[in-house]
Amino acid sequence: MKIIFSDFSYFKKPVVFALCIALIFGAGYYLGKYSNETFPAGTFVAKEMPIFYIQKNAPEVCLTFDISWGEKTLPLVLQVLLENQVPATFFISGPWALTHPEQIKAIYGNNHEIGSHGHKHINLSRYPKETVRENIKKSHQVLLSVVDKVAPFFRPPNGDYDDVVIDTARELGFETVIWAVDSLDWKNPGPDYMTKRILEKVFPGAIILCHASDSSKQTHLALPGIIKGLRAKGYRLVTLSKLMEGGTIGRNDPR
C-alpha cells in the first residue's frame, strides 16, 4: 500500500489504472442504488417500473386522455366518445381541476374514469420525495372535492418517473401508469397519421395515450377513425379499471 500512495507512477500501469476506474464507478453505482436521500431524484435509472399495459387474452384496449390546460378540446373529445359509446380514463391535473369543476363533472357523469395527473406539471424525478408526495396528494384531494370517486391511478406529468415517484405513489395507494401506444396527438401530426399509428401499434391490453388539452388540436378529428379502426380489428374499448380485470400488469416498456 505504501508504494501505491507514495509512487504515483504506479497508476501508469494499465491494469492498475483500469482497476481503480472500476472501483470508482462501482462505488458510485452502489451509493446511487442505496441512497435516494443523498442524491437528487432522477440521477439513477429506475428499478421499479410503472404500468405500461395489461397482459390479457381478451381483445380489450383503453383510451386514456391527459388534461392540464384549456377548455376547447375536451368538449369535442367528450362528444365523439359519447356518440360512439366509448368509456375512457382521464388523467387530470390538480390546478386545471380547481378552475374547471363543471368539466370534471361532465367527464365523470358520462361514465368515464378519472385518475390523477399530479398537481404541478413538472418532471417529478428531479425532486425529493416530500415534493413528490405533496404533488400527488394535493391533486387527489382536489379531484375528490369535485367528484365522488377517483381511480387509484397516477400518471406523472410528461410521463416522467423514477423509483422515488413510483414508490411514493404506491405508498399513497396509487399505481403509476404510463402507456404502451402514444398517439402523438400532442404534436398535431394529422388525424390520418394518428389513426394509422395507433392501429399499427395496438395489441390486446394496450394503454393508449391521447390528450384533451387545447394544445392537442386534432385529437377529436382523429378519434372517430381510431375508434372505428379498433373495433374493426375486434377490440373493445374499456376503462383502465375494466382493462385490469382478469389480466396481469405489464411492467416491461413495449414502446
Q: Which residues are designated catalytic? A: 66, 211
Dihedrals φ, ψ of 210, to 5°? -135, 175
The answer to whether the Cα torsion of 168, 173, 179, 184 is positive or negative is: negative
Cα–Cα distance, 192 to 88 (Å, whole number): 21
Query: Apex CA 71: angle with CA 68 and CA 75, to 5°?
Result: 110
CA-wise closest residue to 64 among 123, 12, 107, 25: 107
At 177, is the secondary structure helix, strand, or coil? strand
All three cell numbers of 173: 395507494
Find all residues with CB under 8 Å of 112, minimum gap 6, and list them.
Answer: 81, 87, 88, 89, 90, 239
At 70, is the secondary structure helix, strand, or coil? coil
Find all residues with CB under 8 Å of 101, minimum gap 6, and list them.
Answer: 146
Cα–Cα distance, 19 to 37 (Å, whole number): 29
